[in-house]
Amino acid sequence: MRKPFLMLCLAVILISLLPIINGEAPQKPMAGDPNITIELDQPEQSVDVEPGDDGVLRFTGTIYCELPPTTPPGQYCVVQLQADAGGWPTSVPPAFTFDRTHEEEQFSLTIQVPIETSQRTQGQITVSGRWSYTPGAGGGTIPPVTGIITINGYSRPLLESNTKNNTFPVGKWVEVPIRVENDGNLNDNIELEITHVPEGLEAYLLTDEVMVPEKQAKVIMMKVRQSTGSPKVHKVEVSGKGMNGGRKDQDQHTVVLESRASARSIFTTPYIVIPFAIVLLAIGFIGFIIYKKKRSVKVEAIV
């Protein structure tokens, strides 16, 4: 009876020592899932995207990682953040490591918003991540948090005119088209003003304000007249100012105009009319003399 019992005890001991004989370390008890949260310091931020800006936006925040009490010594939780800004390039920091004595980390990430993005665009950054234990098995996802990205608007009016065909007759009112383009990133009310009119010219705008949709253009009219004088080249200064600020929220444009003599102006100019009248009178007088001479010759012939 004693011999089989001893053999059984020996077998149990050998089975328990088998992992050590094979070089296998005993497994540590597994910890439960950690409690991980992400908080953003800025729930909403705005960004400048006017040409000349960099369009870079930075969000900061904190990762809280509370490991369960059953976590064995020497086991760590590794957290890798992930960020999605709807296709805009983002950069995230390297992975963070936590244990029972270190449960909080600050982080910073950046978003590159494209220059000239429309002010109507509503951006959003979603920050999430994954966690895993080391050493050991286990891992999972971290609940996401979101931040709002608003695009700051800017004005950028551009004024143009056709300088090749801006000719007009002296003494007549004519309309000169001016193209008003909105190169800003939002619909804009553009205020117009004539800032300089040369001497001898009259000019005014048919409208002093125009609503131009984003990245579109409209044409307004300016009326001009040179009432008297010789034909000449005129330069009229016109400005346009947007309502939303920016580095180039105002544009100054020079409209080049050239007056030309009209048929009416030639015949109504005193310097032309007086000599012309003298010539006509002289021709009439000479004709009258010739007529008188011919008549007297006929009378003498009859006599």
- Predicted confidence at residue 163, as pLDDT, reads 66
C-alpha–C-alpha distance, residues 102 and 95, integer Å: 14
Q: What average pLDDT does the segment 144-154 reach? A: 96
Number of domains the chain contains: 2
Are both 119 and 170 inside the same structural domain?
A: no
Is 293 among the domain residues? no
- Predicted confidence at residue 92, as pLDDT, reads 95
**Angle at CA of residue 265, ends 261 and 270, nearest 5°:** 125
Are both 204 and 117 inside the same structural domain?
A: no
- Predicted confidence at residue 73, as pLDDT, reads 87
Is 47 among the domain residues? yes
Is 118 among the domain residues? yes
Q: Long-range pairs for 95-104 at CB < 8 Å and ≥24 separation?
A: 96/63, 96/65, 98/34, 98/65, 98/67, 99/67, 99/71, 99/75, 100/67, 100/71, 100/73, 103/64, 103/65, 103/66, 103/67, 104/62, 104/63, 104/64, 104/65
pLDDT tier for residue 292 given thresholds of 50, 70 and 90: low
Is 10 among the domain residues? no
* Structure token digits, residue 80: 């890798």
- Residue type (1 letter), 268: T
* Structure token digits, residue 295: 């008549």
C-alpha–C-alpha distance, residues 110 and 61, integer Å: 12
Higher per-residue pLDDT: 13 or 245: 245
Q: Which of 146-160, 239-253, 274-288 has the highest mean pLDDT?
A: 146-160
- Predicted confidence at residue 299, as pLDDT, reads 40
Are both 105 and 169 inside the same structural domain?
A: no
Are both 29 and 137 inside the same structural domain?
A: yes
Is 260 among the domain residues? yes
pLDDT in tens, 45-98: 999 999 999 999 999 999 999 999 988 888 999 999 999 999 999 999 999 999
pLDDT tier for residue 38 given thresholds of 50, 70 and 90: very high
Determine contact, residues 27/135, Cβ cutoff 8 Å.
no
Question: Which domain CATH number covers 188?
Answer: 2.60.40.10
Percentage of the chain modeled with pLDDT above 70: 77
C-alpha–C-alpha distance, residues 79 and 95, integer Å: 6
Question: Which domain CATH number covers 77?
Answer: 2.60.40.2310
Are both 127 and 180 inside the same structural domain?
A: no
Are both 116 and 74 inside the same structural domain?
A: yes
The lowest-confidence range among 251-255, 272-276, 288-292 is 272-276
Is 286 among the domain residues? no
Are both 118 and 69 inside the same structural domain?
A: yes
Over the chain, what is the mean pLDDT?
84
Which of the listed residues 151, 176, 203 is the one where a domain comes to its end?
A: 151
Are both 105 and 221 inside the same structural domain?
A: no
- Predicted confidence at residue 247, as pLDDT, reads 84
Determine contact, residues 253/220, Cβ cutoff 8 Å.
no
pLDDT tier for residue 280 given thresholds of 50, 70 and 90: low
Which of the listed residues 151, 168, 201 is the one where a domain comes to its end?
A: 151
Q: For residue 233, is pLDDT > 60?
A: yes
C-alpha–C-alpha distance, residues 152 and 136, integer Å: 48
* Structure token digits, residue 209: 């304000």
List, in sequence order, every residue forming a beta bridge with 17; answer none if it has no partner. Answer: none
Is 9 among the domain residues? no
Range(s) of the domain holding residue 171: 157-265
C-alpha–C-alpha distance, residues 100 and 88, integer Å: 36
Q: What average pLDDT does the segment 216-233 reach? A: 92
Is 277 among the domain residues? no
